[in-house]
Amino acid sequence: MSQVFDASAFLATCSGRPGVYRMFDAEARLLYVGKAKNLKKRLTSYFRKTGLAPKTAALVARIAQVETTITANETEALLLEQNLIKEWRPPYNILLRDDKSYPYVFLSDGEFPRLGIHRGAKKAKGRYFGPYPSAGAIRESLSLLQKAFSVR
């Protein structure tokens, strides 16, 4: 019973006001929550024929339904978006986030390599493992490694 999402029919009825949109798959699972200053313009950008990033194209391929909520202004849309993301934790909101702030495990080069947590630009010579969603989990893992293998 897989039904193809009719983007043009949906966009024809979409408002140009600020708001929040929610994208669902065929099993009615929430995939992504986003906000827009102009809902119609923002949602139209998802359904272009070319120029989509691979992750965005993968999201669009799974869309079966889109719901919108109109808000009074962009600030209200931002607050609603953040609350919905915190409550529902949609998978594509996590996948599509900018990974500059995620922590990595860093093993430095040199005669006496150092094992530690790294965030930000990868300028130092060595190996980077990650990104990981939880810095706390990395710290715990590194602590166990240090105890078990006497790693400095």
Dump strand ranges (E) for the chain: 19-24, 30-36, 65-70, 104-108, 115-118, 126-129
Examine the domain organization and report whether 50 and 119 are in the same domain: no
Examine the domain organization and report whether 128 and 54 are in the same domain: no
pLDDT digits (tens, 9 = 90+) for 87-120: 999 999 876 555 556 788 999 999 988 889 998 8
Low-confidence stretches of the chain (pLDDT < 50) are: 1
Examine the domain organization and report whether 42 and 63 are in the same domain: yes
Examine the domain organization and report whether 31 and 66 are in the same domain: yes
Examine the domain organization and report whether 19 and 83 are in the same domain: yes
CATH number at residue 88: 3.40.1440.10
Q: How many CB atoms lie within 10 A of CB 112?
A: 6
Show the domain range for 133. Answer: 99-149
Query: Does the N-terminal peptide bond of residue 54 adopt cis geometry, omega within 30 degrees of 0?
Result: no
Examine the domain organization and report whether 62 and 118 are in the same domain: no
Q: Which pLDDT value is given to residue 152?
A: 66
CA-closest candidate to residue 1, choices 25, 22, 23, 21: 25
In this structure, are residues 145 and 129 in contact, taking their beta carbons and an 8 Å threshold?
no
**Domain presence at residue 1:** no
Q: What is the reported pTM?
A: 0.63
